[in-house]
Structure 1
């Protein structure tokens, strides 16, 4: 069993390589046949942060032979006032599971989150893996189930290519890269706030959306070498009616990530989600010609978006469960 966990305050190049070995081994074991993120993407995720989402601490555990055994990342969301929220990503190398390493690491991370004044801690595990049972037996309560999906761009059904040309009276499509143009910023904020809580994703949980947060999201992607591409539906009299955003990778991988898709409540029921996402698929080859596929995740209770994605050609990869742990706030 490794020594007591200690914080990783300034990751070196060797630390990042060791972190990547744990992550890639766990992904290959828990999600066989699925692509593993590049080491460059892992490095960017560990070393590039924004002021509103500062990373509290990282842990990298090594065994007696200095081999990497486990990793943990604790991320605060928004302010650090008592009752705040934190998200944990914890991974144990498959060869070192069921030896007490995960329990010891979780106790350390939970203590750190409590000391920071967090009232809740969330985590995610692949359904049907030991990680799901690990969290369920340690007072974590499931609150959302997600389906992860994949769409090879060569497999897009032919009729999808014609969908952007279908008239939607009173609406038109537009798009941009990075932060929303100033003329559309207020409407974009309204659309962001229309997102259901689980669909916002771990990086957006409990975030107060305002202009600074929107610009920071785009700037953070740029600092990591990635690009945000957005397609929006504009209403003649009411500004932005909805939007969909995709993250284009800057690390040489050929896999884009579908981020949020939202339609303002007053404009739902008009087929805008399918319309916008079909237009996004049309634009992707020109935006990044070497892309091969796009991945996304959808809450299982969002039946409408699941149906939209199925119509576009997305197919399931795996399912995950999001858990929440209530922490005892220190006074």
Structure 2
């Protein structure tokens, strides 16, 4: 089947609709039961990028000019920073095994090589043809992840009460979006605690966190239409952030179109648990479980529209997997991060 591969510089409304069609069809096929993305969510994912990154986008059109495949390549914004790139490549289920995925990946690899990147990573569902597709193209498995889901109606009663359990020397704080100015620097320092998070054989960029970058990250979530919720454990000794947990509430319903209100309603019912970290000097006090339970109770009290939370954790991170299990999270699916070494 003849196809046309096109690099997008500024995605139009038609481009976004075509991208949404491919992404929705692939998710419905590969992850049945998961909420589908809204048009607004797809638009935001193609037009907003975090600090230190930039995007390169490709859309493949089929015989009737409909979208049949997409690729989103995340590149470092400037020289340095490890020269690591990642790609999200999607082929419509009705157009798989026709060679377009191979051709599109070749285009992406060439672009990342031209940008002097050293590694290219991507993530696929474990046990699917995506693994053999990558393995035969010199990608190697670098990190295995377990995705977990928590149905809020099934949270154990003891978890709901955990925030009331005193943790001598610490107090809880919560905010939405960027941290209060008084906590911005120590929150950035706590973010750096993720540097020792298990990452298997996956090479990851080491981000320099400061108050400005923390604020930029919160602003990015707002531009995507998401609400960023934060809970932190504050050390009574010096007022610094000893640990934190973050969660995003999905965007509001978009203005309609493909995947309109029904998909938006489904998506709004699911929140995404992001990173949780405790500064090394404050570990061993149960702060991670305390923080995550406080976040969950906040959802129950303040956001009844949210019915479930999903998260992903490296299989090597046994401690966080145990914390999640104690909270009531259950396995949802498994994915594998693959990495390709690019030509020098």
Q: Normalised by the size of structure 1, how large is the TM-score?
A: 0.93
- Equivalence map 1:1-331=2 (5 Å): 1-3=1-3, 5-50=5-50, 52-55=52-55, 57-81=56-80, 84-195=83-194, 196=196, 205-238=205-238, 239-252=240-253, 253-329=268-344
Q: Do 2:270 and 2:307's aligned partners in 1 also have CA atoms closer than 8 Å?
A: yes
Q: Tell me how far apart the structure 2 counterparts of residues 237 and 79 of structure 1 sit (CA, whole Å).
A: 40
1:313/1:83 CA distance change after superposition, 3 Å: closer
CA 1:198 to 1:84, structure 2 compared with 1: closer, same or farther past 3 Å? farther
Q: CA deviation at 1:41?
A: 1.2
Post-superposition Cα deviations, 1:33-92, rounded to whole Å, max 9, x if no partner, equal: 22222222111111223453221x111101112222100001113424495111100011
Say if 1:178 and 1:16 are closer, same or farther in 2 by CA, change over 3 A.
same
Distance 1:7 1:163 in 2: 51
Distance 1:63 1:298 in 2: 37
Alpha-carbon distance change, 263 to 51 in structure 1, aligned in 2, over 3 angstroms: closer
Give me the whole-angstrom Cα distance separating, in 2, the residues matched to 1:165 and 1:216: 32
1:90-121 superposed Cα distances (whole Å, 9 cap, x missing partner): 01111111111111000101111111121111
Change (3 A) 1:88 1:224: same
Question: Cα distance, 1:230 vs. partner?
Answer: 0.5
| CA contact 2:4–2:62 (8 Å) conserved in 1 | no
- The 2-side partners of 1:5 and 1:236 are apart by 57
Distance 1:213 1:34 in 2: 32
Check the 8 A contact 1:41/1:251 in 2, yes or no: no
Question: Separation in 2 of the partners of 1:224 and 1:198?
Answer: 28
Measure the CA separation in 2 of the matches of 1:221 and 1:37: 16
Quick one: distance in 1 between partners of 2:140 and 2:300? 41
Tell me the secondary structure at the aligned position of residue 273 of structure 1.
Answer: helix
Say if 1:126 and 1:320, in contact at 8 Å, map to a contact too.
yes
8 Å Cα contact 2:189/2:209 also seen in 1: no
CA 164–322 in structure 1, closer or farther in 2 if over 3 Å, else same = same
Report the 3-state secondary structure (helix = DSSP H, G, I; strand = E; otherwise coil) of the residue aligned with 1:118: coil
Distance 1:2 1:259, change over 3 A: farther
CA 1:70/1:2 → structure 2, altered by over 3 Å: closer, same or farther? farther
Task: Verify the 8 A CA contact 2:82 2:205 in the aligned structure 1.
Answer: no
For 1:100 and 1:130, how far apart are their aligned partners in 2?
A: 14
Deviation of 1:206 after TM superposition, in Å, equals 3.9
Greater alpha carbon shift after TM alignment, 232-241 vs 290-299: 232-241
Any unmatched runs of 5+ in structure 1? none
Question: Which secondary structure state, in structure 1, belongs to the residue aligned with residue 108 of structure 2?
Answer: helix
Q: Give me the whole-angstrom Cα distance separating, in 2, the residues matched to 1:29 and 1:225.
A: 26
Q: 1:82 to 1:278 in 2, by over 3 A?
A: closer
- Relative distance call for 1:68 and 1:266 in structure 2 (3 A) is same
Q: Distance in 1 between matches of 2:44 and 2:218?
A: 15
State TM-score, norm by structure 2: 0.89
